Structure 1
Amino acid sequence: MPDQNRKDVDQLSHLGSENTVYTFEYDPTQLESFENNHPGRDYFVKFNCPEFTTLCPKTGQPDFATLYISYVPDKKMVESKSLKLYLFSFRNHGGFHEEAVNMIVNDLVELMDPRYLEVWGKFTPRGGISIDPYVNYGRPGTKYEEMAAKRLLYHDMYPETIDNR
Structure 2
Amino acid sequence: MREKEIEGITLLGNQGTKYATDYDPSVLETFENKHPDRDYMVTFRCPEFTTLCPITGQPDFATLYINYVPNVRMVESKALKLYLFSFRNHGDFHEDVCNIIVNDLVKLMEPKYIEVRGMFYPRGGISIYPFANWAHPDFGYQEIARERMFAQLSDLDKGDGAR
Fold-level similarity (TM above 0.5)? yes
* Per-residue CA distance 1:98-117 (angstroms, 9 max, x = gap): 00110000000000000000
The structure 2 residue matched to 1:147, chosen from 144, 150, 162, is 144
Structure 2 match to 1:71: 68
The structure 1 residue matched to 2:37, chosen from 13, 36, 40, is 40
The structure 2 residue matched to 1:137, chosen from 131, 134, 139, is 134
Residue type at the aligned position of 1:161 = G
The structure 2 residue matched to 1:157, chosen from 139, 154, 159, is 154
**Cα distance in 2 for residues equivalent to 1:145 and 1:45:** 18
* SS of residue matched to 1:16: coil
What runs of 5+ residues in structure 2 fail to find an aligned partner? none
The structure 1 residue matched to 2:121, chosen from 121, 124, 142, is 124
The structure 2 residue matched to 1:106, chosen from 103, 106, 109, is 103
In the superposition, the TM-score normalised over structure 1's length comes to 0.92
Matches within 5 A, 1:51-70: 51-70=48-67
Offset of residue 61 of structure 1: 0.1
Is the 2:7–2:31 Cα contact (8 Å) retained in structure 1? no
Structure 2 match to 1:85: 82
**Cα distance in 1 for residues equivalent to 2:41 and 2:17:** 28
Distance 1:147 1:161, change over 3 A: closer
**Cα distance in 2 for residues equivalent to 1:154 and 1:22:** 36
Residue type at the aligned position of 2:115 = E
Offset of residue 141 of structure 1: 4.6
**Two-structure CA RMSD over aligned residues (Å):** 1.5
* SS of residue matched to 1:47: strand
* Per-residue CA distance 1:68-95 (angstroms, 9 max, x = gap): 0000001000000000000000011010
The number of equivalent residue pairs is: 160
Q: Percent identity?
A: 58
* SS of residue matched to 1:143: coil
**Cα distance in 2 for residues equivalent to 1:75 and 1:21:** 28
Please, which moves more after superposition, 90-99 or 141-150? 141-150
Residue type at the aligned position of 1:33 = T
